[in-house]
């Protein structure tokens, strides 16, 4: 027998990461990644095939065993994390009945408005409904239509046959657990964006009949609720064969990606902030209180750590902006052969950004390529390059993209400071974007805070998923595992950049405020 380990599965938007993680020390022994497609539909839809997810998990897990870092017999448990705010309609056995609707999908917006609107109106919500939802959940279904509840309402109104056939609607993480164990269950953190649970007592989160009626969905089509650190069940035969594991291995409840990232970043104490830069981005921390900020679309929701809340927020596109720059602008595989060189595009982007001055020569990039959630909620806003001149070159464009994502984080950080009542500093940085020294320094300069680049930042989610499973199995404690997460380097804001970023940030906010009606006119009928 080798080192006891956890098989951790992190189901992202573009790829799955599967890792073997030490069950007692949280150290990643080996990791594999496998990509899968995303379908973006012209009506605001965003879908993925759950069978593609599973095929990717099988392929990545198979390569883990070939690497020889551990033996299947060493696996003590399985922990899953996944993209949040998605919906998989399943039958009684947990088999998917259709494509999964993921967090980018906004087709439910008008159906959410129908159940949350009313007179008198406050921030677009019926005042009475707003008070009821805030009092019980800490939030309310987002007007953007990107919450899980919106997906279900969309299916009910526009795909009624599928809606009626569904025995249950599961979050992506909970779908994986169902495929592993056969049990249809959610956790108190994964179910939160259905906005039908009473979260006032963090120790007794439960479905609320009044909210279910208000939302117009049925309790019988929702899963039972467990804690993240409870055992959902044991690995069943079919899944064990697919993953080359012995059946009967315990599977923990797990958590969505935002909550597992908080654990895997090592920032588990109250007001210890972390910034995640992946396809999307978020800036969040644990807090000892329950609170809501409607103006900035932020609220405290149940954490993966029992008895704790965290501030929930997300900006829609971060690393996706760089991917857009790579695939749609600089290295698009067109008939002219411009797709050449995309393999090392991100390294080349860093080199280009270093050649441009702070402020990108006055060019401002707004990163709202698929709408935005926080600090403003607006699914119709779109991105772009602003203040481009004949003097602008490609280095300015690349740097402007990196700065634009950071400027949105600065906007969110202002709201976070107000929400928590303190200046959040330092801020740990994780995710694929945290691998870039250039981007970490830009983040520090734009935010005006110390950015602590976590070692192996791509592994934060699998570390978090494994930590939750280890705690569920009684093999470790959260504080012990958090202490083992090391910082590679600290980036401090440079004084000489502060004036230029203050000007750029003021312009960045004005671009939204002065153009939001134009975005609404251009995109409102799509």
* pLDDT confidence of residue 333: 62
Query: How many CA within 13 A on the CB side of residue 407?
Result: 30
Task: Say whether 151 sits in a helix, a strand or coil.
Answer: helix
Q: Render pLDDT for 239-289 as a digit per residue (tens, 0 to 9).
A: 999 999 999 999 999 999 999 999 999 999 999 999 999 999 999 999 998
Number of C-alpha atoms within 13 angstroms, CB side, residue 87?
Answer: 32
- 3 state DSSP class of 376: coil
The whole-number pLDDT of residue 524 equals 84
Cα atoms in the Cβ-side hemisphere of radius 13 Å centred on 210: 9
Tokens 């740990």, located at residue: 428
pLDDT score at 294:
85
Q: Which helix (H) or strand (E) is 380 found in, with range?
A: none
Q: What is the DSSP letter of 379?
A: T
CB 365 within 8 A of CB 387: no
Rounded to two decimals, what is the model's pTM?
A: 0.92
CA max distance for the chain: 66
pLDDT of 127-186, one tens digit each? 999 999 999 999 999 988 999 999 999 999 999 999 999 999 999 999 999 999 999 999
Lowest average pLDDT, out of 72-76, 341-345, 403-407, goes to 341-345
Chain segment 76-96, per-residue pLDDT in tens: 999 999 999 999 999 999 999
Distance of alpha carbon 85 from alpha carbon 498, whole angstroms: 36
Predicted local distance difference test score (pLDDT) of residue 339: 52
**pLDDT the model gives residue 410:** 97
* CB half-sphere exposure, 345, CA atoms < 13 A: 19
Q: What is the pLDDT of residue 335?
A: 46
Listed in sequence order, the residues at least 6 apart from 412 whose beta carbon sits closer than 8 Å to its beta carbon are 283, 296, 313, 315, 374, 375
Average pLDDT over residues 84-109: 97
């Amino acid at each position: 027998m080798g080192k006891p380990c956890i098989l951790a599965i992190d189901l992202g938007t573009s790829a799955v990461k599967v890792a073997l993680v030490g069950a007692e020390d949280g150290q990643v022994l080996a990791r594999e990644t496998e990509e899968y497609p995303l379908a973006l539909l012209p009506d605001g839809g965003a879908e993925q095939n759950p069978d593609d997810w599973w095929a990717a998990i099988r392929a990545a897990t198979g390569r883990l065993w070939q690497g020889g870092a551990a033996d299947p017999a060493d696996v003590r448990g399985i922990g899953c994390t996944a993209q949040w705010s998605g919906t998989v309609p399943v039958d009684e056995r947990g088999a998917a009945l259709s494509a999964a609707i993921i967090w980018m999908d906004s087709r439910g917006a008008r159906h959410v408005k129908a159940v949350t609107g009313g007179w008198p109106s406050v921030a677009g919500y019926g005042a009475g409904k707003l008070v009821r939802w805030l009092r019980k959940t800490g939030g309310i279904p987002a007007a953007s239509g990107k919450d899980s509840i919106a997906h279900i309402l969309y299916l009910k109104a526009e795909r009624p046959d599928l809606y009626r056939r569904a025995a249950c609607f599961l979050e992506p993480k909970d779908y994986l657990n169902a495929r592993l164990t056969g049990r249809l269950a959610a956790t108190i953190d994964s179910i939160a964006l259905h906005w039908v649970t009473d979260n006032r007592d963090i120790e007794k989160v439960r479905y609320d009949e009044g909210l279910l009626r208000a939302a117009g969905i049925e309790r019988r089509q929702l899963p039972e609720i467990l804690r993240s650190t409870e055992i959902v069940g044991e690995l069943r035969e079919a899944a064990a064969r697919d993953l080359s594991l012995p059946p009967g291995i315990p599977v923990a409840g797990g958590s969505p990606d935002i909550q597992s990232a908080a654990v895997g970043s090592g920032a588990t104490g109250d007001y210890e902030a972390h910034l995640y830069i992946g396809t999307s981005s978020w800036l969040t921390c644990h807090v000892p209180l329950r609170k809501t900020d409607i103006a900035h679309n932020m609220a405290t929701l149940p954490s993966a750590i029992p008895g704790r809340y965290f501030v929930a927020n997300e900006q829609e596109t971060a690393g996706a902006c760089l991917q857009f720059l790579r695939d749609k602008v600089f290295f698009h595989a067109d008939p002219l052969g411009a797709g050449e060189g995309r393999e090392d595009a991100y390294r080349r982007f860093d080199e280009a950004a270093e050649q441009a001055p702070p402020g990108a020569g006055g060019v401002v990039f707004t990163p709202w390529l698929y709408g935005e959630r926080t600090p403003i909620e607006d699914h119709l806003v779109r991105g772009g390059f602003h203040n481009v001149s004949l003097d602008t070159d490609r280095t300015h464009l690349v740097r402007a993209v990196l700065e634009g994502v950071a400027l949105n984080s600065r906007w969110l950080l202002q709201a976070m400071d107000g929400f928590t009542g303190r200046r959040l500093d330092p801020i740990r940085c994780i995710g694929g974007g945290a691998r870039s020294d250039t981007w970490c320094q830009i983040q520090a300069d734009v935010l005006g805070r110390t950015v602590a680049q976590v070692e192996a930042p791509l592994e934060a989610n699998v570390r978090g998923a494994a930590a939750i499973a280890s705690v569920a199995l009684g093999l470790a404690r959260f504080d012990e595992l958090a202490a083992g997460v090391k910082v590679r380097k600290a980036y401090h804001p440079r004084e000489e950049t502060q004036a230029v970023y203050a000007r750029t940030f003021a312009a960045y906010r004005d671009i939204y405020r002065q153009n939001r009606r134009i975005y609404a006119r251009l995109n409102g009928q799509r």
